[in-house]
């Protein structure tokens, strides 16, 4: 019987780059993403690259946002401990790694507008992945476009806008409004807390200052 010897198959040179391009990106935990990409602006108390060692207590809170078993996170804390910055890291990580319609709620529309100018716009410009995705010409003051993803920014004083927008992720930053666990709170934080409780979302984060904490 005549024996045949098969030639070894040679993989075309274009195959491996194509496979590499189609392979899903490995999703980084929020804390790691922040260390690799977040640059705090000059106006920040500690400007420059984000370093988890500066606020190590935020690492677990941020990384919990990656957990499939967690739907809603409530962070009750004193002022000036980095809650808003942690929330911004979660938002940036989503835009870059797991985009979906997102809403960020502040106590008022005015505060939402000021936050875009003072915090979000500098974060976007200093973060390469976000700057590459940001569609400035298609964005509005309180409606930021990143590729196929939209980030809606609203005040808790606009309930109609909150209830009429379909979203996957929800962030509520009531860090400047004191909130008492006993339920005795001002009107704004209670409105925000009810929005968070009733929201039909995939994942959410609520940043709130407890009354009586420094």
Q: What is the chain's Cα-based Rg?
A: 21
Task: Kindly tell me if the per-residue pLDDT of 56 is higher than 90.
Answer: yes
- Mean pLDDT (whole number) for 10-34: 78
For residue 191, pLDDT beyond 80 = no
Sorting pLDDT into bands at 50, 70 and 90, what band is 133?
very high
What single-letter DSSP state applies at residue 79? S
User: Which residues fall within 8 angstroms of residue 47, CB to CB, at 6 or more apart?
Assistant: 40, 41
- CB within 8 A of 49, min separation 6: which ones? 35, 38, 39, 40
Residue 212 φ/ψ region, left for φ over 0, alpha for ψ in the -120 to 50 degree band, beta for the rest: left
The number of beta carbons lying within 10 Å of the beta carbon of residue 211 is 15
Whether the per-residue pLDDT at 101 is higher than 80: the answer is yes
Confidence of residue 6 (pLDDT cuts 50, 70, 90): low
Contacts of 16 (CB under 8 A, 6+ apart): none
> Residues, the chain, total?
214
SS3 content of the chain, % helix, strand, coil (to 5): 40, 20, 40
pLDDT at residue 212 is higher than 60: no
pLDDT at residue 176 in the model? 52
Alpha-carbon span 211 to 195, nearest angstrom: 20
Matching residue, tokens 């260390």: 35
Give the angle 196-40-162 at the CA atoms, nearest 5°. Answer: 20
CATH superfamily of 28-210: P-loop containing nucleotide triphosphate hydrolases (3.40.50.300)
What is the H or E stretch that residue 114 is in? helix 109-115
């Amino acid at each position: 019987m005549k024996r045949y010897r098969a030639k070894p198959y040679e993989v075309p040179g274009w195959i491996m780059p194509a496979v590499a391009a189609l392979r899903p990106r490995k999703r980084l935990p929020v804390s790691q993403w922040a260390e690799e990409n977040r640059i705090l602006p000059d106006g920040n108390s500690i400007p420059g690259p984000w370093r988890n060692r500066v606020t190590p207590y935020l690492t677990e809170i941020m990384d919990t946002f990656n957990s499939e078993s967690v739907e809603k996170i409530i962070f009750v804390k004193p002022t000036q401990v980095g809650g808003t910055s942690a929330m911004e890291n979660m938002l940036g990580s989503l835009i870059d790694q797991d985009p979906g319609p997102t809403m960020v709620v502040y106590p008022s529309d005015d505060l939402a507008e000021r936050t875009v100018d003072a915090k979000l716009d500098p974060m976007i410009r200093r973060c390469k992945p976000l700057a590459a995705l940001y569609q400035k010409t298609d964005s509005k003051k309180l409606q930021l476009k990143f590729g196929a993803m939209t980030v809606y920014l609203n005040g808790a004083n606009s309930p109609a806008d909150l209830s009429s927008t379909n979203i996957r992720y929800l962030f509520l930053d009531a860090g400047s409004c004191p909130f008492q666990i006993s339920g005795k709170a001002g009107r704004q934080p209670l409105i925000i807390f009810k929005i968070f409780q009733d929201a039909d979302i995939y994942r959410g984060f609520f940043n709130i200052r407890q009354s009586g904490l420094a």
